[in-house]
Structure 1
Amino acid sequence: MTPEMFDSVEAYNAAHPASPFPAEHHRRSVLRGYRAAMRGVTDDVTGTGSGASLTVDFLPGGAPLPDEADRVGTVVASRWGEGPVFVLAENVSLRAAWQAVKEAWPTHLSGVRSALKELTGTDS
């Protein structure tokens, strides 16, 4: 199953106001997210055929730091904070999602989705 896609950050934010990307590009770029050692995650899932390098973000606010309270939110993949935005998981513990992705250390989007599978209860 292909993840839900939004053409832009603005379109994603309109549909997910409780888990928004920051509006300013510089604030998006400093979110604590997963970037596979700054190489990005290869898109092998969305059907765009691009093989694009993506980042995985944990919204709102990025993945919680160890001393921060956990939040429930949405896990997305994007082209480094720009559209399109692909929704990978909704209404999940951002700490648990971060841990699952970090422990799996995937280099492809299919691996990120596999790491999140237990949290989402889907086979996508």
Structure 2
Amino acid sequence: MFESVEAYNAAHPTTPFPAERHKRSVLRGYRAAMRGVTDDVTGTGSGASLTVDFLPGGAPLPDEADRVGTVVASRWGEGPVLVLAENVSLRAAWQAVKDAWPTHLSDVRSALEELATADA
């Protein structure tokens, strides 16, 4: 987990979050029908509402080329940033999360674990 977007970007320069808040907010990400994904993983007990983003550039649209990147969860593009998967097909990760339609972060992790297992 990284305490801020800047800390995440320093550690992941090839899959950055956009520096500007507006550009972060328009990324194609998963938001569980705009309710957000409930944080039941970090142990903070906050139950915070999170968004899942696919970096760099958001989840690819159907007519866009696939990219390999990182899947993260954050408080709507603000820190802290939790890395969920690295070096994965963003299209496959998007599809796995979308198919699972999770409302809790633990379920997002499960969907991404199944993707990693399928690639092995």
Give the TM-score taking structure 2 as reference length.
0.96
Displacement, 1:49? Answer: 1.1
Structure 1 residue 17 and structure 2 residue 8: aligned?
no
Q: Runs of 4+ in structure 1 displaced over 3 angstroms?
A: none
AA partner of residue 73 (structure 2): A
3-state SS in 2 of match to 1:58: strand
Summarize deviations over 1:81-123 as a string: whole Å, max 9, x none. Answer: 00000000000000000000000000000010010012234xx
CA contact (8 A) 1:90 1:120 kept: no
Are 1:39 and 2:35 matched, yes or no?
A: yes
State the secondary structure of the residue aligned to 2:107: helix
* Structure 2: gaps spanning 5 or more residues: none
Q: Quick one: which amino acid aligns to residue 86 of structure 1? A: L
Q: Alignment length, in residue pairs?
A: 117
Tell me by how many angstroms 1:62 deviates.
Answer: 0.1
Cα distance in 2 between the residues matched to 1:15 and 1:25: 19
What is the TM-score when the length of structure 1 is the normalising length?
Answer: 0.93
Equivalent of residue 100 in structure 1, options 77, 96, 101: 96
Structure 1 unmatched runs, 5+: none
Query: Matches of 2:101 and 2:40 in 1, distance apart?
Result: 16
Aligned-pair identity in percent equals 91
Matched letter for residue 70 of structure 2: T
Q: 1:119 & 1:107 partners in 2: Cα distance? A: 18
Higher helix share: 2
